[in-house]
């Protein structure tokens, strides 16, 4: 990968208080990649939701976990990859709750699916954990 393709690589601890910093970095990366305001808002919210899912479900609010974020450009898309070192996710069990069940929380998976053009878990990386990828298509 060429250096110009990678916009961000950072590691944060699994604390909700660190998400404010993450949102700022994501917004700047989206602006740098030329996304409009609506698309920038979408990727900020989607990445925030994915990180919160890692913090809540992967690390069970353990503040000592690590989350690595890589943001890169590829032709026609801005790509976000989140790596954690939590227990492997059973992808078949990842789903949003019923939207008719009105209550706080539980909509992160639904939001990510609506806000991003593609999202998927990638093969388990060496060292275990999870690698989640999201893409937002850009104007060609």
What DSSP letter does each residue of 34-80 carry, written as one string?
T--HHHHHHHHHHHHHHHHHIIIIISTT-TT-EEEEEEEEETTEEEE
Angle (nearest 5°) at CA 96 between 93 and 97: 105
Computed over its alpha carbons, how large is the radius of gyration of the chain?
15
Per-residue pLDDT tens for 37-46? 999 999 999 9
Check pLDDT > 60 for residue 105: no
Please report whether residue 1 resides in a domain: no
Please report whether residue 67 resides in a domain: yes
- What's the CATH number where 35 sits? 3.30.565.10
Indicate yes or no: pTM above 0.85. yes
Domain with 109, as residue range(s), is 6-137
- For 6-17, the DSSP string reads EEEEEEEES-GG
93 φ/ψ sector (left φ>0, alpha ψ -120 to 50, else beta): alpha
Per-residue pLDDT tens for 48-61? 999 999 999 999 99
Residues 10 and 25: beta-carbon distance below 8 Å: yes
Please report whether residue 26 resides in a domain: yes
The predicted structure's pLDDT at residue 103: 45
Query: What total number of domains does the chain contain?
Result: 1
Q: Is the dihedral of CA 100, 103, 106, 109 positive or negative?
A: positive
Q: Can you state the percent helix, strand and coil of the chain, rounding each to 5? A: 35, 25, 40
What is the Cα–Cα distance from 28 to 108, expressed in whole angstroms?
A: 22
Q: Binning pLDDT at 50, 70 and 90, where does residue 125 land?
A: confident
Per-residue pLDDT tens for 61-75? 999 999 999 999 999
Q: Is 102 helix (H, G, I), strand (E, B) or coil?
A: coil
Check pLDDT > 60 for residue 95: no
């Amino acid at each position: 990968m060429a250096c110009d393709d990678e916009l961000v690589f950072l590691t944060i601890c699994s604390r909700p208080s660190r998400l404010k910093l993450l949102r700022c970095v994501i917004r700047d990366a989206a602006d740098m990649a030329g996304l409009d305001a609506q698309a920038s808002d979408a990727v900020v919210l989607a990445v925030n939701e994915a990180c919160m899912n890692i913090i809540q479900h992967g690390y069970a609010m353990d503040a000592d976990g690590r989350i690595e974020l890589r943001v890169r450009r590829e032709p026609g898309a801005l790509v976000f990859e989140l790596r954690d070192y939590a227990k492997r996710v059973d992808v078949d069990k990842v789903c949003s709750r019923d939207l008719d069940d009105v209550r706080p929380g539980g909509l992160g998976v639904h939001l990510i699916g609506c806000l991003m053009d593609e999202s998927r878990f990638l093969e388990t990386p060496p060292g275990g954990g999870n690698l989640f990828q999201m893409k937002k298509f850009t104007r060609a």
